Structure 1
């Protein structure tokens, strides 16, 4: 039988193999260069059997409507191609073009990725159905890329266009050209260009050309690129909290009067604040200015910020001021409410199915919005008091960095800060363990985990205290994908090991200066002194309130994290997800569509988005934009070329030492005593390493950030807002960090 066929290709063709919404391509068998009856029968059986292969069954077990019910076998004359490849009649990544990819020999090497292809990006206007085209264009394109000649490329494009016309949809085709120039079309499937994910998929669609956009502030809370689930839950809640604040201030009547993501937004999933609507507060509240707003949110004046708005009448602005100050002064009530939410929220109770758990999450999702709104009361109060301090000091001292340094001095030695207790309580645990068993000093993280289960009463109490109070915290803790310490033994015990090996001793805190003495030191007298001391006391209370409310807010988020992780485990068990991590690359609503509607094309989206996250994370942005932010390239200014990087002085002191660039927990685990940590940001997750390092350099940060609060408490010099620090400084570089004037000096390694 097969002897009459000659050499053939035996290809599987399942009933639902390729569709507009999903693809099972690659799961079924194809056998090339089949000769002889025995090989032919074996190839056919192999193709038929692949319908029920483990891979195919696992893929389709959940999506019953997507499952291929039947398998056909296609037998094609085997072509010995000179060239082969694929043709997309619409280039998925370049609108208005047709894409041809070609390799020498079999196209299998292109599909498998073992050969690099020549690419021909042909404008659709050049692909004329009557065969006419600009010959110079084809000649130049072929000369540039080689491989295909002009006539071969023209014929490919012309026939591919006819295939698209016949099917009425963009097509993904496979082709081969034999040794005498004959063109064969081997396969055609529809492509869904509009379903392809891109790095800017979640960018807002509204016009922001006249808006001031900054990554200040939000870059500390959620630095780097975030996942789609975080974008649709936490970032939405941040945005809602800001819109709620603006409604109280009189900018709008209700939060939903402003567009979603009009205040907090993602550009390629990197987060920014849009100051367009906050700036409108200048027109609706007495004694409010863009400069006030800049300092309240960003800790400094933004040079690119230019906006003007019509002012409301005096009585409207006076009433809005009354309401807004009431909002700020309700900070203590906000903390009580937020604590009640954080302590009572339960999402994981009972034995339920995915549908039931998702409904529980969905019914409670607005709690995220409420918790962020409550946190914004304490955060706004803290920022407003700090901004007011700046304005008072500015009347006497004009240099911005000098003012920031004075503010930092006023905010030193604050007792009762929640984030500072993280390291203190870890040190208490480490001390108890060392007292009980000095051998723990050389224990590995795994050995510590085992020992904690059998340790004595004092150490056990210290451990339980830490987990109860701080177990919900983590690196990048507002990211849904990040796991809290209570649920991440590996991370927690690595941190504990670091603290134990540092000696675990709590350094004696130097007595702080009385704030009256600081005011006297800088020459403030009478009325200005009275106002400044009041604002300082409010700012110091504000720091404590803000850090406590942030911890409570993260506790709420952590409850949702746990519920989503449990839901992901259920979906993997039922075959709805290939792996648990993939849930973070779907939005909250998409998870519902996956569960209720069996929307299988979402799996493809999630996989694409996960591949894009590294690309999004590698993007670099400036701090402030007029209009939509665009990723910037690394540049060096004159000061940097001289070996000096400039930033903002956040915590005073001068230190010289070796730099350690930290971009991940694995990098942080390499920190050695006395090294200067250089990071894009500092958040709660780095706290255990503060007992090791000599100082901090960050690319973002402000006087009220977590890094600043903890650094000041432990007398660690900190310079923030050092652009591209993690790229310009390398691990091992010797640097001098001056937290008083905001400079970082790079030294030659042989100095």
Structure 2
């Protein structure tokens, strides 16, 4: 027999399909003995019955117009008598004409990744059976409001899987009410209770109609209070419905300190019950009794670390993947590769062997499917406080600034260490890695440095090679060997040569006395592998213009061009030869799970189509690069001529800077070649596993770590594991804010002191490439398929070499991450485009089509 209604006492968390998220939570809270006003739920069976009678079928799931029609049909369909009798009976059981709140409770609601807060309708102070029935029907119809429909589309929830239950709950005629988060939703700090309160019904706070009193409670103490004016009060009317009352503002608190602490204690009980932070609604009635009217998970919090090196102390974590320009999550195979690379660093660089290399060292921490380093020891050491901000200042300035804010935090007080011992350890490490020798060699003879770098490249290619006859198990063994022994050691071997160039640039800055001016000598920099790649890509445009493909690039989409290339119907433009050399590159290329250009050149074909629209010969990238090189040589002559002393030393230093700084890109390039080889081996393994039926498709192998892949090679089917891992990955793809530096209690360090716009409205950042440009902004979150018109200013969260083809036609660059010598800054300088990096939330504050001015010398962006 169909159950049309259920009392809260009879509802549990596993009944989501029958009662929806809101009712499931209220049932759980009631059964846990928490102070929930009594009520019941009209189940989804009732909605489905009415929807069927209304004639709502799959044809209503295609667009917002169909949603409006579905809404109209439900409102016009009478409720069957057996359902209306069940609703009235349950309502009368609460008491004669008792005022109730009628709330929607959808099956896609209060989920771990989407709360759906406010997407369906709520009706307050409903009195009488007829009014209740009408409110129920309107709740059912609200499943098809435009906002609910759009929210489901954004969260990729199929409309056909959604149904609506309705909660009917006795009204609390509150003297004061509001909301409470059991974790700080702004900073992410766990066990910090954030409370907003206002007189009357809580709807005033929930809807944003009032400026409420705001309290923050931590460790049983009120650590922050801000009293609002509370000018709007929503009250229940005697016969049903509510009224909005405008009143004079007041700065008196509407709750006592004791009530605030009691609310925090209630929040702690709720969180303990669910085992996760909660977003709650509460009310205090005229008798001073505290009620809990709703609870749902907070879905916007960034996850806590998967593991910590210590549970006793607060730890600080720095995201090295964000510093590398990778905001997106990393695939499980990519994380597995990072664990082995981290084990390699620990053993071969730091001399600290790892018990289980596949698990990675304790200092490597995965949070939100991204890579973090436990920086606690560095923050608490004198040497770390000296080195980390300087390194990050030129690599990822915002992370460096966030770390510096921890220096005054008593939780990260300095741990005394003999300076001589620290210096000795650093010197021994540098000597063991032959850093002084490589730096000196590069300064004396840049030619020898370049020859050495070339030998390293040949060596890494030889070590990653494997016969094509290798078995899948042999390939997996080889992958682990390459990652554990051969990839990261390239960095300390090659980087000192580039460091020598920047040391010379620093020396020149000291002599000139104006650090900003010497950056001009880095334009049109030779020996930069990324620049060479971009110019090679530009050279393909000439071949396109002289081939039968020119018309195709003007009329067909990148996807259509990609299909032509794959099927061999695209005229020869030299792309195959380009991919043979550069095919291991990609967007987010440090993740082995991400497709390479050789896997799918659609992105590159789209970039070439963009280049075809550049019709000014003087703006052609090769001309711009040559002009930049000439300007750099002229800058050297000018700086030497203006120098009052040490002219010969200055010319020597600037010359060495130009000769060596381009090597900066080589360590990562060699790593990308190795990671490309790793990916090819994993693709072969994936094909074998798919053929054996242990995964569904070859690409599924990238949603397994190496231990899981080995289990699959041993005969275990892993379809469910792939599905779970892919679901987690896709949820993280939707996350927009990623903490650069976070604490083990969940605090996003940067959010505590978020940079704001200056008085003139400009957005502050870090100067990256001198010059000023005013133009149209183009916000690009993913370069694949992006269309950047010549001269537009590229606004991006971050960039890596996979982005740089867009730089060739950009008029300027704005990035949310980066420092003066981050990848994007270096390439922007070489192309001579003004650039500002480290601009907080630039992709949110700036919109596509907006006119902005980028001042690369002062590090500011001024929106029009």
SS at match of 2:737: coil
SS at match of 2:330: coil
Unaligned runs of 5+ in 1: 1-77, 89-98, 128-133, 153-175, 177-192
The CA deviation string for residues 170-209 of structure 1, in whole angstroms up to 9 with x for no partner, is xxxxxx9xxxxxxxxxxxxxxxx99xxx974873321395
The CA deviation string for residues 506-537 of structure 1, in whole angstroms up to 9 with x for no partner, is 324221334644654785743xx777766655
Shift, 1:706, TM fit: 2.8
* RMSD of aligned alpha carbons: 4.6
Q: Is the alpha carbon distance of 1:393 and 1:264 closer, same or farther for their aligned partners in structure 2, counting shifts above 3 Å? A: farther
Is structure 2 residue 460 aligned with structure 1 residue 341?
A: yes
SS at match of 1:697: strand
SS at match of 2:757: helix
The CA deviation string for residues 387-436 of structure 1, in whole angstroms up to 9 with x for no partner, is 78558847986xxxx74x34532422211211012221112111022123
Q: How does 1:601-616 map to 2 (within 5 A)?
A: 603-604=720-721, 606-615=723-732
The residue aligned with 1:227 is 331
- Paired with 1:87 and 1:611, the residues of 2 have a C-alpha distance of 32
- Paired with 2:396 and 2:644, the residues of 1 have a C-alpha distance of 25
Which of 469, 477, 480 is residue 592 of structure 2 equivalent to? 480
Which of 1 and 2 has higher RCO (CA within 8 Å, sep 6+)?
Answer: 1
- Paired with 1:572 and 1:448, the residues of 2 have a C-alpha distance of 25
The residue aligned with 2:610 is 498
Is structure 2 residue 583 aligned with structure 1 residue 471?
A: yes
- Paired with 1:682 and 1:384, the residues of 2 have a C-alpha distance of 25
Which of 402, 405, 413 is residue 304 of structure 1 equivalent to? 405
SS at match of 2:852: strand
- Paired with 1:622 and 1:518, the residues of 2 have a C-alpha distance of 43
Q: Is the alpha carbon distance of 1:724 and 1:310 closer, same or farther for their aligned partners in structure 2, counting shifts above 3 Å? A: same
Is structure 2 residue 520 aligned with structure 1 residue 409?
A: yes
Shift, 1:622, TM fit: 4.6
- Paired with 1:496 and 1:101, the residues of 2 have a C-alpha distance of 53
Tell whether the 8 Å contact from 1:199 to 1:612 is kept in structure 2 after alignment.
no
The CA deviation string for residues 35-82 of structure 1, in whole angstroms up to 9 with x for no partner, is xxxxxxxxxxxxxxxxxxxxxxxxxxxxxxxxxxxxxxxxxxx45453
Q: How does 1:654-673 map to 2 (within 5 A)?
A: 654-666=772-784, 668-673=785-790
Shift, 1:591, TM fit: 1.6
Which of 668, 671, 688 is residue 570 of structure 1 equivalent to? 688
TM-score (norm 1): 0.65
SS at match of 1:677: strand
Is structure 2 residue 718 aligned with structure 1 residue 561?
A: no
Q: How does 1:641-680 map to 2 (within 5 A)?
A: 642-666=760-784, 668-680=785-797
- Paired with 1:540 and 1:142, the residues of 2 have a C-alpha distance of 75
Shift, 1:644, TM fit: 1.1
SS at match of 1:745: strand
Q: How does 1:495-574 map to 2 (within 5 A)?
A: 495-503=607-615, 505=620, 506-508=622-624, 509-510=626-627, 511-514=630-633, 516-517=636-637, 519-520=639-640, 525-526=645-646, 536=654, 539-574=657-692
Tell whether the 8 Å contact from 1:214 to 1:625 is kept in structure 2 after alignment.
yes
The residue aligned with 1:714 is 831
- Paired with 1:735 and 1:524, the residues of 2 have a C-alpha distance of 39
Unaligned runs of 5+ in 2: 44-86, 95-164, 166-274, 277-300, 408-413, 442-448
Shift, 1:377, TM fit: 3.5
Shift, 1:742, TM fit: 0.7
SS at match of 2:324: helix
- Paired with 2:318 and 2:538, the residues of 1 have a C-alpha distance of 37
- Paired with 1:525 and 1:347, the residues of 2 have a C-alpha distance of 57
Which of 725, 732, 741 is residue 849 of structure 2 equivalent to? 732
Q: How does 1:176-325 map to 2 (within 5 A)?
A: 200=303, 203-207=306-310, 209=313, 213-215=317-319, 218-233=322-337, 235-240=338-343, 242-243=345-346, 246-247=349-350, 252=351, 254=353, 260-261=360-361, 265-276=365-376, 289=387, 292-295=390-393, 298=396, 302=401, 303-304=404-405, 306=407, 307-308=414-415, 309-313=417-421, 319-324=428-433, 325=435
Shift, 1:633, TM fit: 6.3
The CA deviation string for residues 454-493 of structure 1, in whole angstroms up to 9 with x for no partner, is 788xx65x43442222111111111222211122032232
Tell whether the 8 Å contact from 1:292 to 1:388 is kept in structure 2 after alignment.
no
The residue aligned with 1:696 is 813
TM-score (norm 2): 0.58
Tell whether the 8 Å contact from 1:227 to 1:481 is kept in structure 2 after alignment.
yes
Number of equivalences:
580
Tell whether the 8 Å contact from 2:507 to 2:653 is kept in structure 1 after alignment.
no
Tell whether the 8 Å contact from 1:342 to 1:553 is kept in structure 2 after alignment.
no
